[in-house]
Structure 1
Amino acid sequence: MEKITIGIIDDHKIVRHGLMELLHKLNNYKVVHEFDSGAGFLEALPLTPMPDLLILDYSMPGTNGIEVLKALGDNVVDYKVLLLTQHFDEDIINAAYHHGARGFLHKNCTAQELKTAIDNIIKIGYTNVVDILKRIRNYDPEAVKKPEVVLTGRELEFLKLVCDEKEYTYEQMADIMKLSVKSIESYRTALFDKFGIKSKVGLVLFSHKYRLTEPFL
C-alpha cells in the first residue's frame, strides 16, 4: 500500500521529530516536508511533492496556525490541514473551521487518535465530524432561511463539485466543467465574496447549513 505523505509545520524541533517518529511507527505514513515556522512554510509554496496532509501547529511565533490557514485560502491548491492545539479554545476552533482546517487535535492526543484523524481526513475529507455537525446545526431549522443571494447555474455546478464526496481538486473541476483553472478560481472567489466565506471547507459547511446541494438537500 502506498504511504500517505505528510507535511509538519511546528516551531518546536522536538515536537516535529516526535511526530515523525510516531508516524513512522504507525507504518502507513511518510513525512516528506517539515517546517519550523508558518512563514517558512508559506514561502515554500507550492510544495513538491504535494503532501496528502499537513499537520499544523496553532501556536507559533510570527505567523500562527490560523494565519497560515487564511493564507492557504488564497491558494488554488487545496491543502488538507489537521490543526494541532494545546487549548480547545472555542474561538480558535471556529476560526480553524472557517478558514479551511479539516479537523483539529489536542497535542496530548494518543497515537490512535492521531491515526484516526489522519485516516478520516484522507478517506472522507474531515475528522471531528460530529463536532462539525453540532456547530453547523446549532440553529433553529424553522428559523433558517436560504441566503437571498442567487447562484448562477455555473456557480451552482461548481458548488456541487466542491461538495462531492469524491473530493475533486480545482484542476479536476476545471476538466469536468470544461473550463480553465482560472475560471474555476473566479467562481470560487465569487462565492467567497457573496457568502463571506474564506475556504473550500467553508463552502461545504455553508451548503450543508442551507441545504443548497446534494447530499444536503
Structure 2
Amino acid sequence: MKRQEVIIFTTILIVSVTLISSIFIYNKNLKHKKEIVKLLQAQDISKKNTQQQYSLINEFKKYESNDENSKDFITELSNINDNNYSIDIENKQQYAYIEEDGSISVNSEDVMLLAKLINSEAGDEPFEGKIAVANVVLYRSKENKESIKDVIYAPSQFDGVQTKLFSDNPSNESFIAAREALNGKKVLDKAYYFANLKLCNPSWATEERFLCRIGDHWFFKQ
C-alpha cells in the first residue's frame, strides 16, 4: 500500500471513529437529559408526606423552645471560635454519634462542620431536608470509612464548602438538624449524592439511582 493510500485510510478511520463516538456520546447525553426531565417532575416528599413533615417540624420546635439542654448546647456552640473548639462532646452522649461497635467517633469540630455544611447546602430547605443532607455525610463516612471532616472536605463534593455561608455561624435549625442526625435520626437511608437538578445535571443523577426529592434537592444512591 502506497504512503498516500495509508494516509487516506488512516484519515477515514479516524473520522469514522470520531463520528461514531460523537453519536454515542450525543445519544447518551440525550438519554440523560430525558431522565433529568423526568426527575425534575418528581414529587417533593416534604409536601407529600405531611405527617412526617409536621412530626419533624414539631420536633424541631420542641428542641428550639422547650429543651433547655438543646438551647444551652446551641448557645455554647454558637460562641465557639472557629479555631478554638472547646466542647467535650464525648462527655455529652446525647450529642454524640455512636457507632455500631459502641465507639463514639464525633467531636465538637465534627458537630460544627456538619452544622456548617447543612447551613451552606440546605439553609433554605425544610427541616427534614437539612437532616437528609446530614444523612448523606454520615452514610459516606460509614461507607468510605472516613471521618466526617474528611467527607465534608473531599475535593469537588460539596459546593457549599466554598461559599460564604460555610464560613458563617450556622443557624439554630442547622445545629439541631446536625444533632438529630448524629443521634441517629434518618430521613433517608443509603443516600450518597444530592443535587438541585434545576441548576445542574450530574452524570450520577439517573432514574436508576434516584431515591426521592426533598425541597429543591434530589437524592441518589451510589
How does the TM-score come out when normalised to structure 1? Answer: 0.29
Please tell me whether Structure 1 or Structure 2 has the larger radius of gyration of its CA atoms. 2
Higher-helix-fraction structure: 2
Higher-strand-fraction structure: 1
